[in-house]
Structure 1
Amino acid sequence: MSIFHPIEVPIYMTATFQNPLPSGESSVSDRGKELKYSREENPTVRELEHEIARLDGFKDCLAFNSGMAAISTLLLANRRRRIVVNIDSYSATVSLALSLRELGFDVELRGTDELSSIPQGSLVLTESITNPMLRVPDLHALSEICRDSNSSLAVDNTLATPVLLRPAHLSQYSVQSTTKYISGTNDVFGGVISGDDLSELWEWRRRLGNIMDPLRAFMTSRGLITLELRVRRHSENAIMIARWLQDHERVEEVIYPGLESHRDHMIARRLFGNLFGGVISFRIRGDARRFLINLRRVRPATSFGAYRSLATIPRASIASNLPPDLVERMGIDEKLVRLSVGLEDPEVLMEDLDAALRSS
């Protein structure tokens, strides 16, 4: 990495590298690619990729400038295949799939319960925990179905993280938005794809120019140091608050994989063990917008996975760019609230939620 042997990863903030070297030899990265231009390879970015590949259990990883850049590159690289996308996934992913279909891509949208058969040679993209309805696909069964149909499985593991699930034994690819739990700070964008053979995706990243920049790679690397500790705290806080919400008179329904009442609870337990992530969705008896406005400690915002608790109304935010009939099919309505539980004292959060619920 450096002749100075630093303890922490240095930031190689340079657009280009000397190549050939003074010795006359080419400067080559560990991928066997010439190290000449940071749109293709950068040592700071490469160190982050090594760490995330290790966490995911794969041989390699590519870092991008956003989670959607990673997903876009994955789908573009598979343009000649049938692409099956779980309709319960993040709305931007579904919206991208619809746009690609308009461009002539062979794209099919299916619900979590509609993945029992897959067309031969497909690419299947699903989330390990869907956003915002928190469905948990049976990835063990889906992995076997994909194997039998000579298809590839890509798992968006953003909500679960490698702490809850290491996708390598189930899928060919793992995708994550590092903007969320990986960085954990709400101040840096990024995305990654892990897999064993990413050579074609590397070429697509080079062409598209959507590699993560060195500064953001450095900032993201900091989050990996505390990832396991944070995800455990997020999950412990979330199950406590989810159980409390279940008993609240102003709450109609609580959706959280850690609850026995969740339709996919047993699947979640087989996949994740005793931790179920830090996101809760729930329907309120009242005005969801007024509920958001009356929150004090929890901030009204659309992201998740950081130290600060955030809440949003998916119908008015992340799902607002989808056709109404599709939103209805996904089960997203005006009463649904998505709560990203942070690292704060859960008693303080419950006090804030209670006051906002009673004033909604």
Structure 2
Amino acid sequence: MNSQLPRLAAGLIACAVPAWAAATDLPTYETYSAAIDVGTSFFTVDPTYTQRLDITATPGATAQISGSDYTASASTSLGGNHAYASASAMPSNVLSAGSFSGWYDQVTITGGTGVGTAQFTVQLSGTVDVGALAGGLGYTLGTSSVHPTQLTSSLQYFSTNPSPWPMDAVNPIATYLLGASPYNDTSILFSGTQTSTTGGIPALTDPSLSLGDAGMGFPTYDLVLTPGTGQNIDITLHGTLNFTYGESFYLVGGLGVSVLGDGLDSFCAFSIDGACTPPPKDGSGATTLDFSNSANLVDIILPQDATASFASGTAYNVTSVPEPAEWLMLLAGLGLVGWRARRRG
């Protein structure tokens, strides 16, 4: 079995452009939450399968679905993404269940000329139980110079995709991709990761935006978790953005989680060696990705004298600091004051 399977599962949290994206009167800010399951026979009509889908654009409201042995939910606020998915088993006609939380807000930064640099901090926190099913999480904070719904995606091969704008098409500021494997050997489902010799939790690798081995534009996984319960994720993501003063852009945040069922036969066509029978699993019980309290945009740092105007009027945590050259001048000035004080003493 190759790593294309979880990469395809990760595609469920990417997005396709919706039918209403061509409208001329597009909002300058929006929240979106969706929970969805996906059938195994998504290329054909399966009369035994009825999709579960719940969507809301109301800030703070919850989108939720529940099956016999699985559930997924999401809620969104501007600057805050919250997603949850859990499954102990899935019907044979259900491939995956997951949720997506997304938001965007138009931003204009003034108070200077030319190009400046802004810094962003995101707190990604959650709890993961890895049982007998595989799962994944993807997060992106990014920007777009055009309206998010007008972006085009390289991952538009799932018509059931739950998100309304393509996160793979934004200019990334901070990204994170996590995998959950029911096998202790992470290479069975995931590749390009480093494993830890302690606690069964693989070590972090540097985030990469290079093409995955499936050639579909997926980044490599930053972290792969192996079987175990109560595995806490508490990660601070940092990123920078070079912006032009006075030019508006969209700040976009998206978080998706999904749990994959046992319908591996659907991916025979994507298997290099044609093998569709997985080895015995090391994990047992439910797989749960609980990120219902994250990810949160906790800080935006602008250059000194810069001011950010948000279309939504949301009071993000924005501070301003001197540019590096100004810091050096300030430190030099403080040193001079100290030297003069010593001389007077």
Q: Does the pair score TM above 0.5?
A: no
Q: TM-score, normalised by structure 1?
A: 0.28
Larger RCO of the pair (alpha carbons < 8 Å, separation 6+):
2
Highest Rg: 1 or 2? 2
